[in-house]
Structure 1
Amino acid sequence: EKYGDRNWEKGIPLSRYCDSGPRHFGKWMAGEIDEEHLKMACWNFMSLLDTILRIKQGKLSESLNDLPCCPEFMEEEIKESVNLEQVCAFLGHSLLTASLASS
């Protein structure tokens, strides 16, 4: 197994999601079918959003924000009103839904 169970809940640096999401999306756009690249791209982007929110809530360390900058305009784009539970349920990712329900 490549990753430990629920390891993402411990916090993963934002740059890893920023690297992996577009890479999987590009593979999906190129027609690669060796993995579920579209779901993996969505997972990475939703996990990026979730990690940013949990850093802002003080639930994860600020050190996970290893991006060179985080523009002010993102404050308006990243709101807690985003219904992550519905999006993740649609994508079939119950781990994030369970994590949010317990927080």
Structure 2
Amino acid sequence: MWPFTKKRTLADMGIFNGLTDFHSHILPGVDDGVKTMEESLAILDRYEKLGMKTVWLTPHIMEDVPNRTVDLKERFNDLCRSYKGGLTLHLGAENMLDNLFE
């Protein structure tokens, strides 16, 4: 087999090892991202298998998606209780500079 024909993926090369995802929509059911807890857990499992270490969950906060901090914290805590893997999870937000922004 020619060495030039072997396909290697980025995951095979270890490019994700130790990576932090600073922008994700993995918090279930709060914006245009993941809809269910099962989907969230599957994505986190895949991230961990790729070698990632940290994920920031950054749901939208804007007029069209008026998430409240208290609700996001509750969803985040639910996800943390359900997730049994080794990733470090943090809650952040993607804030739109619109009329809702304070």
TM-score when normalising by structure 2: 0.30
Greater strand proportion:
2
Greater helix proportion:
1
TM-score when normalising by structure 1: 0.29
Greater C-alpha Rg: 2
